Chains A and B, each alone.
Chain A
Amino acid sequence: AQTVTQSQPEMSVQEAETVTLSCTYDTSESNYYLFWYKQPPSRQMILVIRQEAYKQQNATENRFSVNFQKAAKSFSLKISDSQLGDTAMYFCAFMKHSSGNTPLVFGKGTRLSVIA
């Protein structure tokens, strides 16, 4: 079974600074997908970024980028120019690429606070 580990339960960052959230995963699969989700205080989970394991190029979405290290099974999220609206729980998630249907496996989350 796949597992996802987020080793930082809580983090804080000053507004306009850069912060990196860590995520590692354990799998024997060679092809899979990785995701970062954001859950603000409003509780609506929002997809931040998605990475396909067979693509070596790191995904980016505006101020959000990932550092995907397949050999190390690491998938960290970097938030640049942090904004107050980035305050949220962040979940890393894994999905196996399969001919069948496989659901997302989530980490336990990192609570990020952006401080003015």
Chain B
Amino acid sequence: DVKVTQSSRYLVKRTGEKVFLECVQDMDHENMFWYRQDPGLGLRLIYFSYDVKMKEKGDIPEGYSVSREKKERFSLILESASTNQTSMYLCASSLGTRQGYGYTFGSGTRLTVV
């Protein structure tokens, strides 16, 4: 089975800190995604990547950046964490969206910014 591993399950950071959320997949998937999940709002797309060193903005990219230096790793960066970025962050990967493949998700990182 494909595995998507998020480095932290729970994370507490202070306002203004630079935060790195790491995601690694082990099945050579081209596509990787970062979503944010909030109660009543569902999953909202932050950034995605279809290839190494490529990235595209999703629906809510403000306050975030990403890095994909290797195919298997996709990092989400909060440049200066704020309390409104307290949320559940989900990473996902897929073989290819052109054929309508579904995603494989990680277990999520619950980030609290204090």
Contacts and interface: CB of A to CB of B under 8 A. Distances in A.
Interface in A47-78: 47, 50, 52
A47 B95 CA distance: 14
Q: Classify the secondary structure of A's interface with B.
A: loop
A98 B98 CA distance: 6
A45 B31 contact: no
B102 A35 contact: yes
A108 B41 contact: yes
Interface string A88-102: 000100010111111
Given A44-B107, A47-B103, A91 B88 contact: no
B48 to A, nearest CB: 5
Contacts, number: 60
Nearest to A44: B107
B27 interface: no
B88 A43 contact: yes
The 4 closest A-B pairs by CB, nearest first: A33-B100, A45-B105, A108-B42, A106-B43
A42 B107 contact: yes
A102 B41 contact: no
B106 to A, nearest CB: 8
Given A32-B100, A50-B100, A91-B43, 13 more contacts: A6-B42, A33-B100, A35-B102, A43-B107, A45-B90, A45-B92, A52-B100, A99-B98, A101-B31, A104-B45, A104-B102, A105-B45, A108-B42
B50 A108 contact: no
Interface in B64-96: 88, 90, 92, 96
20 contacts: A32-B100, A35-B102, A37-B105, A43-B107, A43-B108, A45-B103, A47-B103, A50-B102, A52-B100, A91-B42, A95-B97, A99-B98, A101-B98, A103-B33, A103-B58, A103-B97, A104-B103, A106-B44, A108-B41, A109-B42
